[in-house]
Amino acid sequence: MTTLSSFEQSINSMAGGLVYNVRTKIKWIVAWTNDGKVCTTIKKCEESVTWSKIITQLQPHDSTHTYQGYTSKVNVEMNTNGSLTLEAKLLV
């Protein structure tokens, strides 16, 4: 697999989520909480993002989702200072 996109982010006491439109084909969604839970999903560009549904899919430490040849892998680790390091990759 080839990495289409990747990012790493240091998180200090916050929860959040991001939506990336990848080309005109898919939405790549990454969400996290400050207690080390993550969720990732991939949708068609025309589909809406329902954050209340994504919140119910949060899992401790890592999440993976595959859709139409794309694979998203997200991992979060607790640092010794209490912050989190989030790493997310979109593979094709």
C-alpha separations of 6 from 28, 39, 67, 72, 75 in Å? 11, 15, 17, 10, 12
Q: What is the pLDDT of residue 13?
A: 59
Mean of the pLDDT values across residues 78-90?
89
Q: What is the pLDDT of residue 50?
A: 95
Residue where the block lists tokens 């694979």: 71
32-74 per-position pLDDT tens digit: 998 899 999 999 999 999 999 999 999 999 999 999 999 999 9
Query: What is residue 49's DSSP assignment?
Result: P
Q: What is the pLDDT of residue 54?
A: 94
3-42 per-position pLDDT tens digit: 777 777 777 657 889 999 998 899 999 999 988 999 999 9
